[in-house]
Homo-oligomer: A and B are copies of this chain.
């Protein structure tokens, strides 16, 4: 969740390392883990054995004022909702059911009670909608602005956890819904003075109160349809790259058939933008991106439509060659996985 292009920090240690380099520093040091750990650093959630048949899923997100959101652009309730939704989406991406949330919040003196109540209501609205209990946390004073850290726990049957690493050459790459709406909504937020709200309520909704696809994740996990899965948070290309790197494969996708809303398409057209940029690199759509066996497409689409009223779309396939190819205006080209890196924000969006 971000609403601002930061200044480029090129040249300093952290931007040279990048977000994933910093994570690697921790991962390397973490070493061998104990037997109750099924999966640690490196997927949407950690996976722990809590009984023979059940697994515990754990995910944590930190959100900072002026980095991940601008308080003047989103009301506190939206901010609360979106923070909870982003974490629940990580549980969905593993095929789990979210259960419990823990909130650590840093509040500076200029933040009033109304803001805290709005934040709380947004968090709780989303939690209730998805059957999540808020069970604890921490409340601290910050020097400046708002700091949020959410941890969400979920559960999944032992044989139904879906990782990033299961994609196989020949698999189809599928998307649980439209992409680019959140980036378009962000564009509306940043240009509201000029654009007003015309025709943009769906886009703003996608950006401010996204709906994680828990039911879809469960269905795909229960039926063992998804070989690999992730949620689109950093950006479609980058998230697809996570799947490919974890699985040791590549992918080719067709940008010309990406599911995009007509609202986003119209806005992009009116503003002289290419809607495919929002769709490929915007991120924060919180739809599921997954791979299924070639030939399962129709069965998966029918089940999602019949049971969830959801249109899932095939956008490409998994390849043996370890690279990501994108078709645009009929031409294939190899792409760098553009998307969000916390320490290289200047390059994103």
The verdict on A64 contacting chain B, using a C-beta distance below 8 Å, is yes
Instruction: Tell me whether A30 and B107 are in contact (CB under 8 A).
Output: no
Binding site secondary structure of chain A: mixed
Instruction: Tell me whether A112 and B13 are in contact (CB under 8 A).
Output: yes
Binds B, one of A140-148, A285-293, A312-320: A140-148
Instruction: Tell me whether A133 and B60 are in contact (CB under 8 A).
Output: no
Instruction: Tell me whether A40 and B107 are in contact (CB under 8 A).
Output: no
Nearest-neighbour CB distance to chain B for A72, whole angstroms, equals 15
The verdict on A136 contacting chain B, using a C-beta distance below 8 Å, is yes
A60 to B34: give the CA distance in the assembly, Å. Answer: 21
Instruction: Tell me whether B14 and A48 are in contact (CB under 8 A).
Output: no
Chain B residues with Cβ under 8 A from A12's Cβ?
Answer: 109-110, 112
Instruction: Tell me whether A64 and B143 are in contact (CB under 8 A).
Output: yes
Partner of A37, one of B121, B133, B140: B133
The verdict on A29 contacting chain B, using a C-beta distance below 8 Å, is yes
Instruction: Tell me whether A109 and B144 are in contact (CB under 8 A).
Output: no
Partner of A120, one of B29, B34, B136, B151: B29
Contact with B along A114-150 (1 / 0, CB 8 A): 0011001100100000010111111111111001010
A19 to B137: give the CA distance in the assembly, Å. Answer: 12
Chain B residues with Cβ under 8 A from A62's Cβ?
Answer: 104-106, 138, 140, 147, 149
Give how many A residues have a beta carbon under 8 Å from the other chain's beta carbons: 75
Binds B, one of A95-103, A243-251, A302-310, A329-337: A95-103
With known contacts A102-B60, A104-B60, A111-B14, A116–B25 Cβ distance under 8 A: yes
Nearest-neighbour CB distance to chain B for A235, whole angstroms, equals 16
Instruction: Tell me whether A14 and B102 are in contact (CB under 8 A).
Output: no
Partner of A30, one of B46, B121, B134: B134
Instruction: Tell me whether A141 and B6 are in contact (CB under 8 A).
Output: yes
Contact with B along A51-87 (1 / 0, CB 8 A): 1001010111111101110000000000000000000
Partner of A56, one of B50, B104, B147: B50
A17 to B139: give the CA distance in the assembly, Å. Answer: 12
A173 to B258: give the CA distance in the assembly, Å. Answer: 66
A116 to B13: give the CA distance in the assembly, Å. Answer: 10
With known contacts A58-B153, A113-B14, A342–B135 Cβ distance under 8 A: no
Ranked nearest first, the 4 interchain pairs of A and B with the lowest CB-CB distance are A149-B149, A62-B104, A46-B135, A50-B50
> Told that A40-B136, A67-B106, A102-B151 touch, could you supply 12 new A-B pairs with CB distance under 8 A?
A9-B109, A14-B116, A19-B139, A25-B113, A30-B133, A37-B100, A41-B135, A41-B137, A46-B100, A46-B102, A50-B50, A64-B140
